[in-house]
């Protein structure tokens, strides 16, 4: 199958081609998927190389370019009525999305959303001008401004803080996280020259215990299959399972290698999942709930 888009270190990819690739990928996996499942399917079907998956955004090296632009492809499809997503992060094809099969149809949606965004920006500038504010220059809005799925960008801030840690500190953080998650006898062996193994812990599930070796890498871009193979080679015959923790992402090939048949299974924790786990355990992340008070005037009339 001919590829619909390519990813370069610089420049914008063909977003229309990415939109078509997203709808095709969703159809092939039953019409709905999580972001991770969907991105991996697009990468698999388009045959993206590990090098392409390793390219990151210039202003945020924790974000692979392919994942960033696939987020925009989903956003355009959603605004065009071809996709919908639930609060649980599951994306699904709508009736319009199910019938979207050609590049021209995807292009129509792209241009429709662009027109709506330009009109929205024009009205915003006009409102600002009428309010005697400093009106913005009459320029077309950029195709790609903020990340559509940044969620306030707290993950980017957290990943920047993790990247600034020393290697020893990052290993100790992984040790603390594993302990909070229920591991016991967690040891850090980062300086032991132990073949790339940074530590070991024991996870007890009911009456059964598993020895788990882990590796921690502060990584910009994507971890490839080679790193997974090297880690498995270092732990071969010594542990029941492996755990690879990184601030970056894993290529589709790395994910496949981690669960390869006949090989010791390795669980993967990438940057976004690491952020969620730290938030869940309250390690360096605080979630504040805002209290909202409302008055029921009718209630007082009943007294």
Same domain, 124 and 192: no
Q: Are 89 and 83 spatial neighbours (Cβ–Cβ below 8 Å)?
A: no
Same domain, 20 and 38: yes
Q: What does the pLDDT read at residue 61?
A: 77
Single pTM value for the model: 0.73
Same domain, 168 and 143: no
Same domain, 20 and 71: yes
For the beta carbon of residue 109, count every other beta carbon within 10 angstroms. Answer: 23
- Token pair 């095709």: residue: 24
- Total structural domains within the chain: 2
pLDDT tens track, the chain, 303 positions: 689 999 999 889 999 999 999 999 999 999 999 998 999 999 999 999 999 999 998 887 778 999 999 999 999 999 999 999 986 789 999 999 999 999 999 999 999 999 998 888 888 888 887 776 543 443 433 444 455 555 447 888 898 899 899 888 898 999 999 999 889 999 887 655 555 688 899 988 888 888 899 999 888 788 999 999 999 998 888 888 899 999 999 999 999 999 999 888 899 999 999 999 999 999 998 888 788 888 888 888 887
CA distance 23 to 98: 8
Structural domain boundaries enclosing 244: 157-281
Q: What does the pLDDT read at residue 245?
A: 94
Q: What does the pLDDT read at residue 29?
A: 93
Same domain, 194 and 68: no
Answer whether residue 299 is part of any domain: no
- Token pair 């959603």: residue: 78
What the block records as the tokens of 12 is: 């914008």
Q: Last residue of some domain: 90, 116, 149? A: 149
Same domain, 176 and 137: no
- Token pair 């699904």: residue: 92
Q: What does the pLDDT read at residue 292?
A: 82
């Amino acid at each position: 199958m001919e590829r619909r888009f390519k990813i370069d270190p610089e420049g914008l990819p063909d977003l229309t081609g990415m939109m078509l690739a997203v709808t095709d990928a969703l159809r092939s996996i039953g019409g709905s998927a999580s972001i991770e499942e969907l991105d991996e399917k697009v990468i698999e079907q388009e045959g993206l190389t590990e090098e392409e998956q390793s390219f990151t955004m210039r202003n945020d090296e924790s974000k692979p370019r392919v994942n960033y632009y696939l987020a925009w492809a989903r956003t355009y499809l959603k605004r065009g009525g071809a996709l919908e997503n639930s609060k649980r992060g599951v994306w699904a094809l709508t009736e319009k999305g199910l019938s979207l099969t050609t590049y021209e149809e995807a292009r129509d949606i792209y241009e429709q959303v662009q027109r709506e965004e330009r009109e929205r920006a024009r009205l915003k500038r006009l409102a600002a001008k009428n309010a005697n504010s400093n009106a913005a220059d009459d320029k077309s809005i950029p195709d790609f401004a903020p990340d559509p799925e940044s969620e306030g960008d707290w993950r980017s801030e957290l990943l920047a803080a993790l990247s600034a840690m020393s290697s020893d500190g990052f290993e100790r953080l992984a040790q603390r996280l594993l302990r909070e998650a229920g591991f016991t006898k967690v040891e850090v062996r980062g300086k032991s020259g132990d073949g790339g193994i940074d530590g070991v812990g024991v996870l007890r599930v009911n009456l059964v215990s598993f020895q788990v070796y882990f590796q921690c890498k502060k990584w910009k871009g994507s971890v490839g299959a080679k790193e997974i193979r090297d880690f498995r080679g270092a732990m071969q015959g010594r542990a029941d399972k492996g755990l690879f923790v990184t601030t970056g992402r894993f290529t589709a090939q790395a994910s496949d290698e981690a669960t390869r048949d006949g090989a010791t299974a390795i669980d993967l924790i990438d940057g976004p999942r690491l952020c969620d786990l730290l938030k869940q355990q309250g390690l360096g992340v605080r979630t504040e709930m805002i209290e909202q008070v409302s008055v029921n005037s009718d209630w007082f009339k009943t007294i």
